[in-house]
Amino acid sequence: MLQDLYVSEGGFKGYVTGHYLLHLLEARMDKASKPDPAGGNGATRQTPFLLDPMTPGQWLGMIQAQTAAGGAFFMNWNGRRLAINGRLYVFDDGKAGSPPAGEWNDGVPPTYREIARQVVHLGLSRTKESQKFSQKFRRLFDNPDPGSTAAYGGMLPTLAGAMFLAEPRRNWRAWPINWMLLDFAESLTPYGSQLDKHFTWDKILWHPEALDVDSGAPNPSVYARVPVKKPQTGPLGGGGGIGAIQFAGGLHRVGGKMPASPTGGGAQGGADVGQNLNYIQQKEVTILVRWLAARNRWTALRPADARDATLPVCDFNWDAYSHISGNSKAVMEKIRDDIDKRITTFDKML
Tens of pLDDT, residue by residue over 102-124, are 999 999 999 999 999 999 999 99
| pLDDT tens-digit series, residues 162-208 | 999 999 999 999 999 999 999 999 999 999 888 889 999 999 999 99
The pLDDT of residue 142: 84
Residue 306 has pLDDT above 70, yes or no: yes
Instruction: Answer whether 324's CB lies under 8 Å from 10's CB.
Output: no
230 three-class SS: coil
Q: For residue 312, give every residue at least 6 positions away whose Cβ sits within 8 Å of its Cβ, in sequence order, or none.
A: 12, 14, 15, 327, 328
Query: pLDDT band at 152, cuts 50/70/90?
Result: confident
Phi, psi of 244 (to 5 degrees): -75, 125
* pLDDT on residue 147: 60
CA dist 61 and 55 (Å) reads: 10
Per-residue pLDDT at 149 exceeds 80 = no
DSSP SS3 for 344: helix
C-beta separation of 76 from 83 below 8 A: no
Instruction: Tell me the whole-structure pTM to 2 decimals.
Output: 0.95
pLDDT band at 212 (very low <50, low <70, confident <90, very high): confident
Question: If pLDDT is split at 50, 70 and 90, which confidence band does 225 have?
Answer: confident
Distance CA(215)–CA(225), nearest Å, equals: 12
234 close to 264: Cβ distance less than 8 angstroms: no
pLDDT band with cut points at 50, 70 and 90 for residue 231: confident
Question: Over pLDDT 70: what percentage of the chain?
Answer: 95
pLDDT of residue 291: 98
Is residue 35 within 8 A of residue 61, CB to CB? The reply is yes
Task: State the pLDDT confidence band at 153, using cuts at 50, 70 and 90.
Answer: confident
Least confident of 6-15, 24-33, 45-54, 217-226: 217-226
Averaged pLDDT score across all residues of the chain? 92
pLDDT exceeds 60 at position 219: no
- What does the pLDDT average to over 24-39? 93
